[in-house]
Amino acid sequence: MLVLNQRLSALCALLALAVSTDAQSSALSSSDAASSVLSSASPSFSSALSSISAVTTVASSVSASTIPSTASSAVSSQSSASPSISIPSSASPSESLTSALSSTLSSASASATSPISSSAAASITSASASTFATDTGPPLESTHYTIPISSYPFSSFPVPSASPIPGVFPSTSPQSPPPPGSSLIPDFGPAWARAHSRARKHISGWSLEQKVAVATGVGWMGGRCVGNIPPVADFPGLCLEDSPLGVRFTDFVSAFPAGVTTAATWKRSLLRARGQAMGAEFKGKGVHVALGPMMNLGRIAQGGRNWEGFGADPYLAGEAAYETILGMQQAGVQACAKHYINNEQEHFRTQESSNVDDRTEHELYLHPFLRSVQAGVASVMCSYNLVNGTYACENDRTLNQLLKGENGFQGYVMSDWQAHHSTLAAVGGLDMSMPGDITFNSGTTWFGANLTAFVQNGTIAESRVDDMAERILAGWYLLEQDKGYPDVSFNAFEMNDPATNEHVNVQDDHYKVIREIGAAGTVLLKNVNNALPLKMPRSIALIGNDAGPGSRGPNGYSDRGGDDGTLAMGWGSGTAQFPYLVTPLEAVQARARADSSGAQVSWFLNNWDLAGAAAAAVDQDVALVFVNADSGEGYITVDGNEGDRKNLTLWENADALIEAVAGANRNTVVVAHSVGPAIVEGWIENPNVTAVLWASLPGQESGNSLVDVLYGHVSPSGRLPYTIAKRPEDYGTALVTGGTGDEILRIDYTEGLNVDYRHFDANNIVPRFEFGFGLSYTTFSYSSLRVRAIPQADPTSAALEAAWAAGTPSPAVEGGSAALWLHRPAVEVSFAVENTGPVAGTEIAQLYVHFPARAGEPPSVLRAFADVHVPAGARAALTLALSRYDLSVWDAARQGWRRPAGEIAFSVGTSSRDFRLKGTVPL
């Protein structure tokens, strides 16, 4: 084997890396390369390029002491004029990172942090920063932090523990979670302990290379799933597969409603049922890890992947993630919470730094992931972007300190596909590289042989690799996937290959819950003079391309990357194959045939022939106009929309189409299938537009779900999971565009806590339709409010609760943010809901907390909700609970959850602006 001297070996490795990365669309900066291509080694250690398990080593091990400081600086920064950060030798590594960040990023999350000393967080330092000139053009990030070459020890995270409490905190397993909406807090600690014990025993006899292998994917298209961990000894490996709404790239599976549609139901039972049905399909296909749910917030209304998630509020998104994960894992598949964290737009997603202050990070963006940890989630996927100047997949602050430390996460962190930037990402908290190669089909990897070499030369402690392998196998054991788990029965890359596709049908009767969610997630925004439900009309016209089938069929566009026919899901990796798609046209015709009056149905599916559309609407009892707005992942562009939406208008001439039809028919009903909010000001007040249904993305039963609402079989109960504004600028946040080459966009979250309805409330902006809004075919009244503190007899938390009541922040300890005493019910709010209308219906009661003004919170924050079905004329009792966590704010200076001084009030009502009952918290 050719052996090169150390310096030449390093240059060869850098050259190989440059060749392998030139081909990718978003180039890695040279500072990324430097921090990962070079490793610390003894003077006698050198290596040449080699391959292992068909993955070529691109990094050579070099003694840092043999490279002059000037050369090292030239390699590790993009500009010779780049500022460097001096770190006092007396400072601990994590303190150094915190100091560096807080001194250069005024909004950085580390500006008021103290490291968790018992974790691996103490292993990171800041690297030299890259500078980009920004006299004109988009805002560009001037600092990029990488992990420098050093020797990193590792000690395992202490495992948070608490004694089970019957009736409050029962010990259980993912196979037996509490029912939806239960006040019980499941204690998965014992199940995790058993899983880790078995995993530790399993890997005890493995070689270093074997342990590294379970952390390294086999490479893009190297197996039958989108991600694959190879078999090691008697461990069979793992199949990882998209998506958050169904099993991607295979047949005989269901196409479920999107996350945003399911969130619009505000029904925990349906969130759980969807998760369980999806989990069963993933397991039935032999998938070990389902890559979902997605829980990024809709910070940007135009965000391309917002529809995959659960809306713009952290509490709603957190509860939706929690129920979804409980359902998925109850079915036996490992869930994966993604995309961690601050991945809020598609444009330049691999080269943008989301700069977020510590309080905002905790109270908004981290919360859904905390709830995922509390649901026992097996894995978390780190995102493409940088967070406060450091890539999310090697970010010590977010991975080690927050996720594994504060939140007590006991599973493993995988990278998003090609979001892995260095071998030293293992020190930053990354446990698994996906899909394994640096760029698709490059034959190179940051882990694999490079990780092995970094351990052998003393850069990374082998105990850290033990921890990685143990975490990965613990997830496998937690879900009992060692016991008769189905084999993979499909080929994601060759769906029609008879040798690797068994065409196993896993759909069962899941169409039922899909149809139910589609109806329950439909939001009635307008209904003048009870235009809906339809009352056996004699003539119906369906107008608009969205009413009918696409010209290519439901799967005619790869990854659904086209807007043609009715819209039932967005585009990108968050999709699945439709087994069929019931269009509104098909479903309305079937329903009309059932009417004794014998309704006549006609249609006109051209959005651009306005005269023809108007003619089709003339003299019809009702004209149903179907419109949509689409978006998706940035690797597909549709009509100039590069993932993110270019604007907030409805697509395909929709506004003009609605106006033309409304001009010809005085009973025009608009149905919108949309990925998110849209501006409707051009026609919403037109008196001939008598009703509007916001149907989101309903999945395969789209038309049937809609007919259930149109004809009154289901009284609409959907509520908006975001705000619909009157003007795009009313949201207060917008896409950051621009950027070329290896520039890094700077996205400053200057709005802080005021996202979506919080921003509207804080700035007295009147929306068109507020967050939580939705009409019904009936009416409800609220009464009989009662509030009480919930007594508890657990002496172990009495001192903590008393300190919290006095305004002392919660302790900054491992698992502190997930502590039982913080999350157990502390206040009970009960009231009555009466159906005062003519038909049975479901009400969604929402509770918003109002913190004292000096607490610095938005005027109202959602903290509880519940659905209740009430017959006409009847009353029902509802009880909502608040925890101390719900009543806390994050104290960035003292790193804990604190009760703000002053009176905490709350309101109960039907939306974020329609409050029916008001009270104060007795704590």
pLDDT tens track for 106-161: 333 333 333 333 333 333 333 333 333 334 578 998 889 999 999 999 998 888 77
pLDDT above 90 covers a percentage of the chain that reads: 81
Q: Are the CB atoms for 306 and 675 separated by under 8 Å?
A: yes
| Residue 102 pLDDT exceeds 50 | no
Model pLDDT, residue 136: 57
Q: Are the CB atoms for 571 and 557 separated by under 8 Å?
A: yes
Task: Determine the Cα–Cα distance for residues 790 and 787; give it in Å rounded to an integer.
Answer: 10
Lowest mean pLDDT among 59-63, 470-474, 555-559, 885-889: 59-63
Task: Determine the Cα–Cα distance for residues 524 and 594; give it in Å rounded to an integer.
Answer: 24
Q: Are the CB atoms for 386 and 343 separated by under 8 Å?
A: no
Q: Are the CB atoms for 73 and 95 separated by under 8 Å?
A: no
pLDDT tens track for 511-547: 999 999 999 999 999 999 999 999 999 999 999 999 9
**Order of all β-strands in the sheet with 334-340:** 227-229, 238-241, 289-290, 334-340, 379-382, 412-415
pLDDT tens track for 268-307: 999 999 999 999 999 999 999 999 999 999 999 999 999 9
Q: Kindly state the DSSP code that residue 285 receives in the 8-state scheme.
A: T
Short-list 692, 687, 651, 686, CA closest to 670? 692
Lowest mean pLDDT among 60-64, 220-224, 621-625: 60-64
Short-list 486, 482, 473, 474, CA closest to 280? 486
Model pLDDT, residue 179: 96
Range 749-753, long-range pairs (CB < 8 A, 24+ positions): 749/107, 749/299, 749/342, 749/354, 749/355, 749/356, 749/357, 749/360, 750/107, 752/357, 752/359, 752/360, 753/359, 753/360, 753/363, 753/364, 753/856, 753/857, 753/858
Q: Are the CB atoms for 151 and 459 separated by under 8 Å?
A: yes
Q: Are the CB atoms for 810 and 897 separated by under 8 Å?
A: yes
Q: Are the CB atoms for 428 and 393 separated by under 8 Å?
A: yes
The 3-state DSSP class for residue 241 equals: strand
Model pLDDT, residue 596: 75
pLDDT above 70 covers a percentage of the chain that reads: 85
Positions annotated as catalytic residues are 416
Q: Which H/E stretch holds residue 882?
A: strand 875-883
What is the chain's mean pLDDT, rounded?
A: 87
| Residue 243 pLDDT exceeds 70 | yes
Model pLDDT, residue 162: 80
Task: Determine the Cα–Cα distance for residues 906 and 829; give it in Å rounded to an integer.
Answer: 10
**Single-letter amino acid, residue 788:** R
pLDDT tens track for 337-353: 999 999 999 999 999 99
Which residue has better confidence, 68 or 699?
699
Model pLDDT, residue 476: 98
Which residue has better confidence, 18 or 861?
861
pLDDT tens track for 803-850: 999 999 999 999 999 999 999 999 999 999 999 999 999 999 999 999
The 3-state DSSP class for residue 556 equals: coil
| Maximal C-alpha separation, the chain | 91
Task: Determine the Cα–Cα distance for residues 718 and 518; give it in Å rounded to an integer.
Answer: 10
Task: Determine the Cα–Cα distance for residues 214 and 468; give it in Å rounded to an integer.
Answer: 8
Question: How does residue 508 score in pLDDT terms, banded at 50, 70 and 90?
Answer: very high
Average pLDDT over residues 782-792: 96
The 3-state DSSP class for residue 875 equals: strand
Task: Determine the Cα–Cα distance for residues 909 and 886; give it in Å rounded to an integer.
Answer: 18
| Residue 192 pLDDT exceeds 90 | yes
Lowest mean pLDDT among 351-365, 391-405, 594-608: 594-608
- Token pair 């730094």 is found at 353
Short-list 249, 561, 289, 626, CA closest to 434? 289
Task: Determine the Cα–Cα distance for residues 499 and 224; give it in Å rounded to an integer.
Answer: 11
- For residue 9, the Cα-to-chain-centroid distance in whole angstroms is 41
Short-list 213, 369, 392, 372, CA closest to 296? 369
The 3-state DSSP class for residue 4 equals: coil
Instruction: Indicate the pTM of the whole model.
Output: 0.88
Determine the length of the chain: 923
| Residue 31 pLDDT exceeds 70 | no
Task: Determine the Cα–Cα distance for residues 629 and 649; give it in Å rounded to an integer.
Answer: 7
Average pLDDT over residues 185-199: 96
Average pLDDT over residues 75-98: 29
Average pLDDT over residues 38-60: 29
- DSSP string for residues in 403-465: IIIIS---SEEEE-TT----TTHHHHT--BBSSSSSSTT-SB-SSTHHHHHHHHTTSB-HHHH
Lowest mean pLDDT among 9-23, 461-475, 849-863, 897-911: 9-23
**Between the CA of residue 87 and those of 103, 128, 422, what are the distances in Å?**
11, 11, 22
Model pLDDT, residue 111: 33
- Beta strand pairing call for 889-891 and 841-850: unpaired
> Per 3-state DSSP, what percentage of the chain is helix, strand, and coil (rounded to 5)?
30, 20, 55
Average pLDDT over residues 873-900: 98
- DSSP string for residues in 151-191: -B---PPPPP----BTTTB-B--TTSPPPTT-S---B-HHH
Task: Determine the Cα–Cα distance for residues 771 and 655; give it in Å rounded to an integer.
Answer: 23
Task: Determine the Cα–Cα distance for residues 396 and 35; give it in Å rounded to an integer.
Answer: 15
Bond from prior residue into 767 cis (ω within 30 degrees of 0): no
Short-list 32, 29, 46, CA closest to 148? 32
Burial of 60 (0-12, 13-18, 19+ CB in 10 A): buried
Contacts of 451 (CB under 8 A, 6+ apart): 212, 215, 216, 423, 426, 460, 465
Number of neighbours of residue 874 by Cβ within 10 angstroms: 11
Task: Determine the Cα–Cα distance for residues 140 and 136; give it in Å rounded to an integer.
Answer: 10
**Between the CA of residue 207 and those of 109, 212, 213, 261, 542, what are the distances in Å?**
38, 9, 10, 47, 65
Task: Determine the Cα–Cα distance for residues 273 and 515; give it in Å rounded to an integer.
Answer: 12
Which residue has better confidence, 14 or 336?
336
Which residue has better confidence, 132 or 603?
603
Model pLDDT, residue 342: 98
- Token pair 């919170």 is found at 857
Model pLDDT, residue 18: 38
Average pLDDT over residues 353-378: 98
Model pLDDT, residue 77: 28
Task: Determine the Cα–Cα distance for residues 502 and 516; give it in Å rounded to an integer.
Answer: 30
Model pLDDT, residue 160: 78
Q: Are the CB atoms for 403 and 429 separated by under 8 Å?
A: yes
Q: Are the CB atoms for 519 and 582 separated by under 8 Å?
A: no
Q: Which residues of 379-408 are buried (b: 16+ CB within 10 A; e: fewer)?
A: bbbbbbbbbbbbbbbbbbbbbbbbbbbbbb
Q: Are the CB atoms for 174 and 276 separated by under 8 Å?
A: no
Task: Determine the Cα–Cα distance for residues 904 and 849; give it in Å rounded to an integer.
Answer: 7
Short-list 103, 74, 76, 78, CA closest to 88? 103
Number of neighbours of residue 596 by Cβ within 10 angstroms: 6
pLDDT tens track for 856-879: 999 999 999 999 999 999 999 999
The 3-state DSSP class for residue 272 equals: helix
